[in-house]
Amino acid sequence: MNTAPESLQSVFDRTFAGISQVRETFTPQLRPHEVGTIANISTGIARVSGLPGVGFEELLEFPGGVFGIAFNVDEEEIGVVLLGDYWHLHAGDEVERTGRVMDVAVGDGLLGRVIDPLGRPLDDKGPMAASTRLPIERPAPPIMDRAPVTEPLQTGLKVIDALIPIGRGQRELILGDRQTGKTAIALDTILNQRGQNVVCVYCAIGQRASAVAKAVAILREKGAMDYTVVVVTEGNEPPGLAYIAPYAATSIAEHFMEAGRDVLIVYDDLTQHARAYRELSLLLRRPPGREAFPGDIFYIHSRLLERATHLRKELGGGSLTALPIIETEAQNISAYIPTNLISITDGQIYLSPSLFELGVLPAVDVGKSVSRVGGKAQRAAYRVVAGDLKLGYAQFEELETFARFGARLDQDTRKIIEHGRRIRACLKQPEFAPVSVPAQIAVLLALTAELFDPVPLDRMTDAEHAVHEAAASIPAEVCARFETADKLSDEDRKAVIEIARKALVPFQPKPEAKPEAKDGAKTEPESKAGAKPAAKAEPKPEAKPKPDDGSKPRAPTDAKPNSKPNPQPETEPKPEAALKEKP
């Protein structure tokens, strides 16, 4: 009975001895802790004094868990961009340094989630499961770490994949007036990445909450949220959040790129981003420039889009493809922000409101759109048809303006116009219905082979669906060569064209229409022959009085009795008076 208490006592002794030893060896360290005060609060910004050691873009913490970024570092005060609701802040409140820059959570745990730029969840699915954080501002990969853009990123839209191809690692600008389908093209591209091992990041900047909710609902309905991260700032949130949103989304995308994966990021849209930065700059008393934008407005977009690239194989071979969206005003693509982004990006897709009003959807203006990577990031099967298709469509658009004036057109011109109308009809596509690569190639080869030309325009949609369904019967080895072959062989081309020709047989004009046309052709000369004497009979009564009246009575025997009562009393005295005047 005495051994147990003794052993317990020895345990206590050893424990207390260890505690006393650690206490003796511990030396407290003093850490400097800077605390400043708010001088004044404005819309989305605060001026802080008393933080002499703060760094540029350092994260500061305000009461109530609100964070801010040190934007202006002056001698006496600091201009801070606030990243949250600031209505409870007042002058004199304390501000603390954090010693770090703004960062965001990254990782696979973000897939399928809707978050804000600070990494806070907005979808009621619980806290974020992410163990890694990256700063939102990161340097772009150096040139020697980059690889050429050679792999295509299929959008599922025929007009883009055939005429304005996008490569993995490219930056392609989407611009156009409001309500012309810019977001629809971006969402179609995200939907088409299903099963392509591509991670998508959709960044909504200053958008209406209803528009963002609609986009997220479409992605969920189509099953695209499994490989998509949505970063959202609504229009009623502070401009600081709208400013950091694209940088935070790019850091999330870069994490996947550095892991060797292909990533697509959509910025919707950078017009709101530029306006938010202009608002912050004007509030911080930075000097305004053109259109009241600050002088570094070009730099905030260039340093963002330069992070999109294709890495070398030694670095994982990942890629980051950027699709920035810009809203133009009254089709003015030469405004300040659009021209900045046109010069930064590797091409643009311009959406025309006039085509949108005509029902040509997607309303891509092929003449004003370009991809500066082009055929280098395009499958060989597309390259075979792209040149002829673009040339034929350009000829059609040029000749269509002449046809509107009712000018007489020769047979070749009418053929070009009819062929161009079929091209335009085939390039139309419903929303959120991407087309697979074999179906696209079957339609485009049928177009270049002029198989659609005999099809009436009102049946073009059904004819195209028939070709889509027939494309499923293309042999698997041929479809595999679409993806891998450097050149489309003649045998494969003939096989695809033959499949499309068989699918279009029900839409060809019926042979019974030929004799009807012949009968109509026969009746036309008969009517013309019958019309000739009528045409001759009309001038004859006018010419009768000049010679004798009875010189030509027999040719128009039927016309004489009808013409005698009315014209004779009026026409006969006139030549007699003329004859009397002549001598």
Active site residues: 372
Query: How distant is the alpha carbon of residue 473 from its chain centre?
Result: 31
d(CA 79, CA 60): 11
d(CA 432, CA 409): 39
Give the Cα-Cα-Cα angle 198, 350, 165 (nearest 5 degrees). 40
- Please say whether the beta carbons of 172 and 347 come within 8 A: yes
> Backbone phi, then psi, for 465, in 5-degree steps?
-60, -35
- C-alpha closest to that of 371 among 355, 390, 354, 356: 390
Say how many residues make up the chain: 583
Which structure tokens are listed for 291?
Answer: 């259109």
d(CA 139, CA 136): 10
Output DSSP code: residue 173. E
Which structure tokens are listed for 197?
Answer: 């091992």
**Placement of tokens 């001026």 in the chain:** 47
- Please say whether the beta carbons of 324 and 341 come within 8 A: yes
d(CA 207, CA 325): 12
Return the SS3 of 342.
helix
d(CA 215, CA 143): 35
Q: C-alpha distances in angstroms, 302 versus 139, 202, 341? A: 11, 19, 8
Question: Is the N-terminal amide bond of 226 cis, ω within 30° of 0?
Answer: no
Q: C-alpha distances in angstroms, 352 versus 180, 289, 404, 492? A: 7, 29, 19, 36
Which structure tokens are listed for 288?
Answer: 């305004």
Strand bridging mode 66-73 / 78-82 = antiparallel
Return the SS3 of 259.
coil
Determine the residue type at 138: R
- C-alpha closest to that of 109 among 210, 257, 255: 255
